[in-house]
Amino acid sequence: MWFENTVKNMNNTKHSAAYTPHDASSREESTMQRVNVGLARRYRRERLFRYCGLGAIIASIGFLLLLFISITANGWTAFIQTEILLDIKFSAEHFDVDNLSAANYGALVKSSMRQLFPDVKNRREKRKLYKLVSSGAVYRLQKMVMKDTGIIGTTQAVWLPADDEVDMFAKGRVDRDLAENNRRLNDKQIHWIDTLSATGRLKKKFNTTFFTAGDSREPELAGIRGATAGSLFTLAVTLFLSFPIGVATAVYLEEFAPKNKWTDLVEVNINNLAAVPSIVFGLLGLAFFLNILGMPRSAPLVGGLVLTLMTLPTIIIASRASLKSVPPSIKEAALGVGASKMQAITHHILPLALPGMMTGTIIGMAQALGETAPLLMIGMVAFIVDVPGSVTDPATVLPVQIYLWADSPERAFVERTSAAIMVLLAFLISMNAIAVFLRRKFERRW
Amino acid sequence: MHLSFFLLILLALSSGAYMLGKQKALQFTRERGAAAIHSRPGYYGLLLALWCALPSLFIFLFWTFFSDTVLTSLAINTLPESLQNLAPDQLNLMVNDLRNLVAGHVAPRDIDPVLQLAADKYNSMASISKLALGAVMFCAATVSSLLVYKRIVPEMRARNRVERIIKIALMLCSVIAILTTIGIVVSVLFESIRFFKQVPITDFLFGLKWSPQMAMRADQAGSSGSFGAVPIMAGTFLISGIALTVAVPTGLMSAIYLSEYAGPRVRTWAKPIMEILAGVPTVVYGFFAALVVSPFIRNSGEMFGLQVSSESALAAGLVMGVMIIPFISSLSDDVINAVPQAMRDGSYGLGATKSETITNVIIPAALPGIVGGVLLAASRAIGETMIVVMAAGLSANLTANPLHAVTTVTVQIVTLLVGDQEFDSPKTLAAFALGLLLFLVTLVFNVVALYVVRKYREEYE
Within its chain, how far is the Cα of B408 from the centroid?
Answer: 20
pLDDT greater than 50 at residue B143:
yes
Cβ contact (<8 Å) for B191 and A287? yes
pLDDT at A59: 93
Cα–Cα distances in angstroms (integers) from residue B132 to residues B6, B60, B139, B399, in the given order: 12, 11, 10, 64
Give CA–CA dist B163/B158, Å, rounded: 9
Is the CB of residue B430 less than 8 Å away from at least one CB of chain A?
Answer: no
Please, how many CA atoms are within 13 Å of residue A348, restricted to the half-sphere of its CB?
18
Which amino acid, one-letter code, is at B126? A
pLDDT-wise least confident of A138-147, A158-167, B419-428: B419-428
B40 near B159, Cβ under 8 Å?
Answer: yes
Cβ contact (<8 Å) for B251 and A56? yes
- pLDDT-based confidence at B140, cuts 50/70/90? very high
pLDDT at B214: 46
In a mutational test of the B interface, the residue from A7, A63, A231, A345 whose CB has the highest number of chain B CBs within 10 Å is: A63
pLDDT greater than 70 at residue A417:
yes
Cβ contact (<8 Å) for A266 and B277? no
pLDDT at B434: 93
Cβ contact (<8 Å) for B432 and A287? yes
Instruction: Please list every residue in chain A whose beta carbon sits closer than 8 Å to the beta carbon of residue B447.
Output: 272
B240 vs B227, more confident: B240
Average pLDDT over residues A340-359: 92
pLDDT at B52: 92
ipTM for the complex shown = 0.87
pLDDT greater than 70 at residue B174:
yes
pLDDT greater than 60 at residue A2:
no
Is the CB of residue A326 less than 8 Å away from at least one CB of chain B?
Answer: no
Average pLDDT over residues A352-370: 92
B357 near B363, Cβ under 8 Å?
Answer: no
Give CA–CA dist B337/B362, Å, rounded: 9
Is the CB of residue B394 less than 8 Å away from at least one CB of chain A?
Answer: no
pTM higher than the cut 0.80:
yes
- pLDDT-based confidence at B419, cuts 50/70/90? low
What one-character-per-residue DSSP string does B7-20 give? HHHHHHHHHHHHHH
pLDDT greater than 80 at residue A327:
yes
pLDDT greater than 70 at residue A302:
yes
Instruction: Please list every residue in chain A whose beta carbon sits closer than 8 Å to the beta carbon of residue B171.
Output: 252, 256
Which residues 315-334 of B have a C-beta within 8 angstroms of A? Answer: 322, 325-326, 329
DSSP code of A120? Answer: -
pLDDT at A372: 92
- Range from B11-15, B125-129, B422-426 that averages highest in pLDDT: B11-15
Query: Which residue in chain A is spatially nearest to B351 when comparing CA positions?
Result: A3
B361 near B347, Cβ under 8 Å?
Answer: yes
pLDDT at B457: 63
Please, how many CA atoms are within 13 Å of residue A352, restricted to the half-sphere of its CB?
18
Give CA–CA dist A262/A227, Å, rounded: 42
CA dihedral B238, B241, B246, B249 (to 10 degrees): -160
- pLDDT-based confidence at B130, cuts 50/70/90? confident
Is the CB of residue A18 less than 8 Å away from at least one CB of chain B?
Answer: no
Average pLDDT over residues A24-43: 79
Average pLDDT over residues A392-409: 91
Residue A386 makes CB contacts below 8 A (sequence gap 6+) with: A214, A226, A393, A394
pLDDT at A68: 94
For B376, the closest of A3, A251, A275 (CB atoms) is A275
The CB density around residue A216, as the number of other CB atoms within 10 Å, is 16
Phi, psi of A98 (to 5 degrees): -80, -25
Could you tell me the domains of chain B? 3-156 (no CATH), 230-460 (1.10.3720.10)
Q: The dihedral of CA A299, A305, A310, A312: what is its sign? A: positive
Phi, psi of B80 (to 5 degrees): -60, 155
For A56, the closest of B160, B257, B358 (CB atoms) is B257
In chain A, % helix, strand, coil (3-state, to 5) comes to 70, 5, 25
Query: Which residue in chain B is spatially nearest to A271 when comparing CA positions?
Result: B450
Q: Which residues pair with A83 in a beta bridge?
A: A161, A203
Q: Mean pLDDT over all residues of chain B?
A: 85
B356 near B192, Cβ under 8 Å?
Answer: no
Condensed to tens digits (0 to 9), the pLDDT of residues A277-299 reads: 999 999 999 988 888 887 888 89
Condensed to tens digits (0 to 9), the pLDDT of residues B294-331 reads: 999 999 988 888 888 888 899 999 999 999 999 999 88
Condensed to tens digits (0 to 9), the pLDDT of residues A250-261 reads: 999 999 988 888
Query: Which residue in chain A is spatially nearest to B432 when comparing CA positions?
Result: A283
A60 vs A95, more confident: A60
Average pLDDT over residues B37-45: 89
pLDDT at A3: 47
Cβ contact (<8 Å) for B254 and A281? no
Q: The dihedral of CA A288, A292, A295, A299: what is its sign? A: positive
B219 vs B404, more confident: B404
Average pLDDT over residues A136-154: 82
Total residue length of chain B: 461
pLDDT greater than 50 at residue A13:
no
Which residues 33-52 of A have a C-beta within 8 angstroms of B? Answer: 35, 42-43, 45-46, 48-50, 52
CA dihedral B13, B15, B17, B21 (to 10 degrees): 180
Instruction: Please list every residue in chain B whose beta carbon sits closer than 8 Å to the beta carbon of residue A2.
Output: 356
- pLDDT-based confidence at B460, cuts 50/70/90? low
pLDDT greater than 80 at residue A350:
yes
Give CA–CA dist B331/B340, Å, rounded: 17
| Nearest to B358, CA basis, from B334, B331, B339 | B339
Is the CB of residue B184 less than 8 Å away from at least one CB of chain A?
Answer: yes
pLDDT at A171: 84
User: B168 to chain A, minimum CA–CA distance in Å?
Assistant: 9
pLDDT greater than 80 at residue B105:
no
pLDDT-wise least confident of A106-115, B2-11, B406-415, B416-425: B416-425
pLDDT greater than 50 at residue B215:
no
Query: Which residue in chain B is spatially nearest to A380 when comparing CA positions?
Result: B418
Average pLDDT over residues B404-418: 89
Cβ contact (<8 Å) for A279 and B275? no
Between helix A2-19 and helix A21-75 the angle, nearest 10°, is: 170
Average pLDDT over residues B417-430: 73
Instruction: Please list every residue in chain A whose beta carbon sits closer than 8 Å to the beta carbon of residue B439.
Output: 276-277, 280
- pLDDT-based confidence at B124, cuts 50/70/90? confident
Domain A225-442 matching CATH 1.10.150.120: the answer reads no
- pLDDT-based confidence at A241, cuts 50/70/90? very high
Contacts 24+ apart (CB under 8 A), B344-350: B350/A3, B350/A6, B350/A7
Condensed to tens digits (0 to 9), the pLDDT of residues A35-67 reads: 888 889 999 999 999 999 999 999 999 999 999
Cβ contact (<8 Å) for A1 and B191? no
Condensed to tens digits (0 to 9), the pLDDT of residues B233-277 reads: 999 999 999 999 999 999 999 999 999 998 889 888 888 888 888
Pairing of strands A155-161, A202-206: unpaired
Q: Euclidean distance between the first and final Cα of chain B, in Å?
A: 61
Give CA–CA dist B151/B414, Å, rounded: 58
Is the CB of residue B176 less than 8 Å away from at least one CB of chain A?
Answer: yes
Please, how many CA atoms are within 13 Å of residue B220, restricted to the half-sphere of its CB?
13
pLDDT at B156: 86
CA angle A81, A83, A84 (to 5 degrees): 165
pLDDT greater than 80 at residue A98:
no
Give CA–CA dist A362/A178, Å, rounded: 49
What one-character-per-residue DSSP string does A218-265 give? SGGG--SHHHHHHHHHHHHHHHHHHHHHHHHHHHIIIII--SSHHHHH
For A56, the closest of B65, B254, B284 (CB atoms) is B254
Q: The dihedral of CA A358, A360, A366, A368: what is its sign? A: negative
Cα–Cα distances in angstroms (integers) from residue A294 to residues A281, B65, B116, B192, B366, in the given order: 17, 10, 22, 20, 49
Q: Mean pLDDT over all residues of chain A?
A: 86
Give CA–CA dist A90/A79, Å, rounded: 30
pLDDT at B125: 85
